[in-house]
Amino acid sequence: EVQLVESGGGLVKPGGSLKLSCAASGFTFSTYSMNWVRQAPGKGLEWVSSISSSSHYIYYADSVKGRFTISRDNAKNSLYLQMNSLRAEDTAVYYCARDRGAVVVGHDYWGQGTVVTVSS
């Protein structure tokens, strides 16, 4: 059974940092591209970042470019999101999500999400 379990969320002050983790199991993690998608309270879904299976290709939303860094450790079946210079507008539930296949047609498995709150 495919499982994605996020952790690392919490309350942080504006300008602070946080590192999210996503532990994957039930599939060959090293062969799938992965993503972070967030959802602000009461709002819709916003794609944040993607990383290819070998980390060769990395993409970011403009809203986080230069502040967030996506990475992965295939030996540990883990995905990460290092978030720096956090702002109030980064407050959201952060989901990790797997790309369905080699050609991206959507995200077929999602974690339960981890809550990030940026507030003084």
Rounded distance between C-alpha atoms, residue 96 and residue 45, angstroms: 12
Count Cβ atoms below 10 Å from residue 55 Cβ, excluding itself.
14
User: Which of 46/74 has CB closer to another protein?
Assistant: 46
The residue written with tokens 């379990």 in the block is 5
Q: Please report how close the Cβ of residue 7 comes to another protein at its closest, in angstroms.
A: 15
Count Cβ atoms below 10 Å from residue 63 Cβ, excluding itself.
14
- What does the binding site for another protein look like in residue numbers (CB under 8 A)? 35, 37, 44-47, 50, 59-62, 95, 97, 100, 104-113
User: Which of 13/65 has CB closer to another protein?
Assistant: 65
User: Which of 44/120 has CB closer to another protein?
Assistant: 44
Q: Please report how close the Cβ of residue 60 comes to another protein at its closest, in angstroms.
A: 8
How does DSSP classify residue 64?
T
Asked whether the beta carbons of 11 and 115 are under 8 A apart, the reply is: no
Q: Please report how close the Cβ of residue 19 comes to another protein at its closest, in angstroms.
A: 21
User: Which of 63/84 has CB closer to another protein?
Assistant: 63
Count Cβ atoms below 10 Å from residue 32 Cβ, excluding itself.
23
Q: Please report how close the Cβ of residue 101 comes to another protein at its closest, in angstroms.
A: 9
